[in-house]
Amino acid sequence: MYYGIHGKFTATPNNGPALLHILLEAAEGLRQNPDCLIYLVSAQPDDPDAVWVSEVWVSQAAHQASLDDQATRELIAQARPLIAGIFGAGRAAYQRRQRPLSLIWGCLT
């Protein structure tokens, strides 16, 4: 089973851009991790302190192992003081199939 997480980070007032930068740095660091299939970071145009993150991993264990990486732990330590809350953090399991994984993430406006 693939493992996915989707949630909204709300930064402390006026710290959305700094939080976004840290999460984008995390995304860049994960490019070399073959267990991370998707790490999508997006800003919310109508709320500069909101940052959305969507992740898909080959397994829940792979995601958990990524949190033990020293660089990841340093980024988490930098981000924590900037986070006012995490909302809508959904977790999902995706069935492995013979064809490549295809996911559609959407939002309603």
Q: Where are the domains of the chain?
A: 2-94
User: What is the pLDDT, as a whole number, of residue 107?
Assistant: 38
User: What is the pLDDT, as a whole number, of residue 33?
Assistant: 94
Give per-10-residue mean pLDDT for the chain (109 aa). 90 98 95 94 96 94 95 96 87 60 41
Q: Which residues contact 94 (CB under 8 A, 6 or more apart)?
A: 1, 2, 3, 4, 56, 101, 103
The Cα 37–Cα 105 span in angstroms is 14
CATH label, 2-94, candidates 1.20.1640.10, 3.20.20.70, 3.30.420.480, 3.30.70.100: 3.30.70.100
Alpha-carbon dihedral sign for residues 109, 104, 54, 39: negative
